[in-house]
C-alpha cells in the first residue's frame, strides 16, 4: 500500500441559512470573488481554494462551521475597513504568538450565518 499525505486544501464548506444574504456578505463585504451561485450553494475563489457556502443537506448538519483564517498583510487596516463595512468583530486585533522575526496577530468575527471567521497576520517585529 502506498502512503497518502494530505497537504493541500481544495475546498472548504461553510453552512448558511440564507444563501443570498451570505453571498452578499462574502462577495460585497469581504470582497471574495464569487465563482457561481445556485439556489442551494455558492462558490468563491480564495486564491485557488474554493469556499463553498451551502444550505445544510440534513437538519443534523445545521450548525456553524469550522473557523477559516484569512491571511492579511495589515491586520489593523483590514480590521478598520471591515469594521466600517459592518463586520461583527468579536475582538480587536491582538497578539497571539512570538515567532522570532515576526508576531502572529488575529482578530475574530462572525459572518451573517453565525460562523466564526478570523483575520490573521504575520507582523514583522517593530510594526505592531
Tell me: the pLDDT tens digits for 24-71?
999 999 999 999 999 999 999 999 999 999 998 888 778 877 889 999
**How confident is the model at residue 61, as a pLDDT?**
77
Check residues 7 and 96 and name the one with the higher pLDDT: 96
Task: Domain 64-128: give its CATH code.
Answer: 3.10.180.10
Say if residue 115's pLDDT is above 70: yes
**How confident is the model at residue 33, as a pLDDT?**
97
Parallel/antiparallel/unpaired status of strands 33-37 and 68-71: unpaired
pTM assigned to the model: 0.78
With bands split at pLDDT 50, 70 and 90, how would you rate the model's confidence at 93? very high
The number of residues in the chain equals 128
The CATH 3.10.180.10 domain(s) of the chain lie at 10-57, 64-128
Parallel/antiparallel/unpaired status of strands 102-110 and 116-124: antiparallel
The x, y and z cell numbers of residue 113, run together, are 450565518
Q: Any idea which residue has 468579536 for its cell?
A: 90
Torsion of CA 37, 77, 80, 108, to 10 degrees: 70
Say if residue 4's pLDDT is above 60: no
Choosing among 3.40.30.10, 3.10.180.10, 1.10.3430.10, 3.30.43.10, the CATH entry for 10-57 is 3.10.180.10
Q: What percent of the chain has pLDDT over 90?
A: 67
Amino acid at each position: 500500500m502506498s502512503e497518502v499525505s494530505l497537504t493541500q486544501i481544495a475546498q472548504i464548506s461553510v453552512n448558511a441559512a440564507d444563501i443570498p444574504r451570505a453571498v452578499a456578505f462574502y462577495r460585497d463585504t469581504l470582497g471574495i470573488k464569487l465563482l457561481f451561485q445556485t439556489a442551494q450553494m455558492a462558490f468563491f475563489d480564495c486564491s485557488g481554494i474554493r469556499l463553498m457556502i451551502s444550505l445544510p443537506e440534513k437538519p443534523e448538519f445545521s450548525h456553524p462551521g469550522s473557523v477559516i483564517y484569512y491571511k492579511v498583510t495589515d491586520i489593523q487596516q483590514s480590521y478598520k475597513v471591515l469594521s466600517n463595512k459592518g463586520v461583527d468583530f468579536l475582538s480587536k486585533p491582538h497578539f497571539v504568538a512570538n515567532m522570532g522575526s515576526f508576531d502572529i496577530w488575529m482578530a475574530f468575527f462572525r459572518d451573517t450565518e453565525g460562523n466564526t471567521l478570523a483575520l490573521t497576520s504575520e507582523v514583522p517585529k517593530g510594526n505592531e
